[in-house]
Amino acid sequence: MRRWLSLLLVVLAACTQQQAPPDALVAQMRVGLERSLAAMGEAPMSRAALDHLSANLCWQSDAASLARARDGAAGDGLAERARATIRRIEGHGHGIRPPAMLTWLSAQGDGLVPEQRLLLEACIQQALKEEAAAGAARR
């Protein structure tokens, strides 16, 4: 009986879902996406698509890093990390290109609003994950 109870607890622990990102964070990410897409001259996305993408970016990113980036605590380091991420992706030759949003945001320098800094941090984290996955697939 104890073994079954232990097994049940392990299964339940493995099945627990990560807590959803705060609605305010998702809303800020949506604003960053809307502003950036408009500034890039891209066609506007539907509200549902923006909501979905914003939530996914927040869900897949480290919340503490997002907050630091949004609040400006990362300072110039955020732009440098973005440029370093782009160089890393281009230099590894895994057949992937840096995301256009990451490239555009990194080129804006200090002209980013807090919501766009939040988006830039999420783009950096996502690009590094994709680059690592591409590298692992080639091994």
Q: What is the mean pLDDT of residues 21-39?
A: 94
Which residues have CB under 8 Å from 66's CB, separation 6+? 25, 58, 118, 121, 122
Q: How far is CA 99 from the centre of its chain?
A: 11
Q: pLDDT tens-digit profile of 45-90?
A: 999 999 999 999 999 999 888 888 888 887 678 889 999 999 999 8
pLDDT number for residue 11: 53
Domain assignment of residue 63, yes or no: yes
Domain hosting 56: range is 24-138
Question: Nearest Cα to 21, choosing from 64, 50, 74?
Answer: 64
pLDDT number for residue 134: 80
Q: What is the mean pLDDT of residues 95-111?
A: 89
Residues 94, 29, 32, 63: is their CA dihedral positive or negative?
Answer: negative
Q: What percent of the chain has pLDDT over 70?
A: 83
Domain assignment of residue 106, yes or no: yes
Domain assignment of residue 7, yes or no: no
Distance spanning both ends of the chain, measured CA to CA? 44
Distance in angstroms (rounded) separating the CA atoms of residues 74 and 79: 9
Structurally, the chain folds into a number of domains equal to: 1
- Which amino acid, residue 118? L
pTM value is 0.81
Domain assignment of residue 91, yes or no: yes
